[in-house]
Amino acid sequence: MSRPGGRHDHDDLEVPGEREGIDELDVEILDRIAGLHGQVDGPPDDFDDEMVFAVAAAELGAELARLEEQELVAARGGEESIQAMSFVASSLTILLTITNLGGERVRIDGWLAPGARYDVQLRSRRASAADRRTVADEAGRFVIDRVRRGLLQVVIRPSSGRSVVTPTFEL
């Protein structure tokens, strides 16, 4: 894999033509390379929409809270489901505990540290599921009940300052 400044795996022998300008044949070769990778290993059709969804709620300057850890438990059918996850931003840690309620529903118990009365928004990518909103208590705790499983994202807004956004995650 690549190394910064790496001259190591290029021998120093000049390849004939490397100093010439790019011509039609070069452009054709590059176009074919792009086409082939698109064909053999290109993004799925949904990829653009998925990424647009992920950035849609983030206000300019919103800070990314990275997934730090997740705890899985065995669920029905041998699959694993997430029981707890933590996200970390420089200003805030987000801890979510997930309780399976059956019937495609879960309860999310959240804890934000340091605690404060943040606005909490839970976004769902399901067209039929409205965003859920609540406010954390002084200790940073909140509950969002009867959430439908799917692709979700949490956005935290303090009363002043930058908001914090998690990546999307599948529950």
Partner 1 sequence: MASSTDPATTTRSERLADYLERAQAGEAGAIDAIVRELNPLLWHVARSQGVPLSDVSDVVQNTWLELVARLAEIRSPQALTSWLVVTTKREAWRTNRRRQTTEPDDTLADVADEAPEAATDLITDERDRVLWRTFHQLSERCRELLRIVAMVDRPDYGVVGEALGMPHGSIGPTRGRCLAKLRALLVADPLWEPS
* Binding site residues, partner 1, CB under 8 A: 1-7, 9-10, 14-22, 25-43, 47-48, 50-52, 54-56, 58-64, 66-67, 165, 167-168
Q: Which of 5, 103 has the CB closer to partner 1?
A: 5
Compute the least distance from the CB of residue 137 to partner 1, in Å.
27
Compute the least distance from the CB of residue 86 to partner 1, in Å.
14
Q: Which of 95, 165 has the CB closer to partner 1?
A: 165
Report the alpha-carbon angle 55-57-58, nearest 5: 65
Compute the least distance from the CB of residue 35 to partner 1, in Å.
8
Q: Report the 10 Å Cβ neighbour count for 19.
A: 7
DSSP sequence for 66-106: EEEEEEEEE-GGG-EEEEEEEEE-SS-EEEEEEEEEETTEE
Residue for token pair 């950035």: 55
Q: Which of 27, 101 has the CB closer to partner 1?
A: 27
Please check whether residue 88 is in contact with residue 154, taking contact to mean a CB–CB distance below 8 angstroms. Answer: no
Q: Which of 143, 151 has the CB closer to partner 1?
A: 151
